[in-house]
Structure 1
Amino acid sequence: MASVYREIVVDVPASRAWAALQDMGRADRLFAGVLVSCSLAEGVRTVEFANGFVAKERVITVDHERRRVVYSALNEAFVHHSATMQIVAEGDARCRFVWTSDVLPEQAADRITPLIDAGCAAVKKNLEGGAA
C-alpha cells in the first residue's frame, strides 16, 4: 500500500478551517481551483475536478471533536482508497491542514499526488483569502 501524506500551515483559526472542511457537500468552495462542483447525497459525495474528471467518494466519518473527516473514493482504478483530512490548531490564529491518502495499487499514488498537492495549495489560498 502507498501513502501520500501532506501537511500545510494555514494562517486562519482552526475553527474557521474546520467550518469549511466539515461541510462535505460544499468541498468545491474549499478546493476552488481544483474542484468546480460538489454534491452530497445519501453519504456519497460527487466532485468534479477542473480537468473534467468526476469522482464519487463515500463519506465515512465527520469527527467534530478531532476536526477530522474520512472518505473513500469509489473508483475501479483503486483496489483500496481511504483518506483523512484533519485540522489541527496551532494557537488562536493558525492551524495545520493534514491530508493522508492510502491507496492500492501502489502506482495509484502517482496519479493522486498531483491532485493532493494542488488541493493543499487551494485550501491555503481559499482559507487565507477568505473564499472558503
Structure 2
Amino acid sequence: MFGWTWWASTFGWSGDQEPIRCCGRHCRRVKKNVSVMATVCVETIINVPARQVWEVVADVGAVHKRLLPGRVADARVEGDVRILTMPDGAQVRELILAIDHDIRRMAYTVTAGQRLPLTYHHAAFQVFEEGKRSRLVWLTDVLPHAMAEVVQGRVERGIQEIKEVVEQNTAEQ
C-alpha cells in the first residue's frame, strides 16, 4: 500500500535526488550530493497505553514534572513559547508549533538557549498505539549535519528517561 512510489510522490522525491539515507538512527536527505537536513529518529516502546503517554507529552507546561524531571527543573508557557529552566539555571526557549490530539503529535523548535552549536533544531514527538502499550517516536531535524551524532546521543538518553518516568508514574497511580 505504501511502497516506494507512494513515498517518492508524497514526499517530493524526483530523479535528481537520492532517497533518504539512514546511517544508524540518523538520516540525511541528499539532493544532487548536497545534504539538505540531518534528521535524528529515536523511538521506544512504553508499557503504558498510548492515551496516557499522549496526555504526558501534550502537557507542554509540565515537562519538568511529567516528562523529564531532573533534566528540566521548571517549565512555563507564555503564549506559544515554552521556557525550560535547566537545573543549573540556564533557560531554553521553544516555540510550540503543534499539539495535534487526533494524531498524537507535538512539534517544537528551539529558538534560544541552545547549548549545542546548532543553527537549526526542530523536533516532534508522536505517540502510536501498540496494543496495551505505546510507541513513542522522537524526530529531530538539526543543522549543522555534523551535530547529528551528538544530538542522537542526547535524544536516545532522553527517550529512555521519558520511558522510565512515564512507566514509574503510571505504576504509582
Give the alignment's TM-score, normalised by structure 1. Answer: 0.88
Partner letter of residue 39 of structure 2? S
Partner of 1:109: 148
Give the residue type in structure 1 aligned to 2:84. V
Residues 35 and 49, structure 1, Cα contact 8 Å, conserved in 2 = yes
Aligned equivalent of 1:122, options 142, 147, 161: 161
What is the aligned partner in structure 2 of residue 73 from structure 1? 110
Of 40, 45, 55 in structure 2, the residue corresponding to residue 9 of structure 1 is 45
Q: Which has the higher contact order (CA 8 A, sep 6+)?
A: 1
Matches within 5 A, 1:1-132: 1-29=37-65, 30-50=67-87, 52-75=89-112, 77-91=117-131, 93-130=132-169
Superposition CA RMSD, Å? 2.0
**Percentage of matched positions with identical amino acids:** 29
Q: Which amino acid aligns with 2:151?
A: I
C-alpha offsets along residues 88-115 of structure 1, whole Å, 9 cap, x if unaligned? Answer: 0111x20001000001111332443333
Cα shift readout 1:44-73 (whole Å, capped 9, x = no counterpart): 111133455421100000000000001001
Segments of structure 1 that go 5 or more residues without pairing to the other structure are none
Consecutive unaligned residues of structure 2, counting only runs of 5 or more, are 1-36
Amino acid aligned to 2:53: A
Once the two structures are superposed, residues 108-128 of structure 1 have per-residue CA deviations (whole angstroms, 9 ceiling, x without a partner) of 324433331221011111111
Q: Which stretch shifts more, 22-31 or 44-53? A: 44-53
TM superposition score normalised by structure 2: 0.69
C-alpha separation in 1, matches of 2:53 and 2:43: 14
CA contact under 8 A between 1:14 and 1:95: conserved in structure 2? yes
Cα gap change, 1:47 to 1:112, in 2 (>3 Å): farther
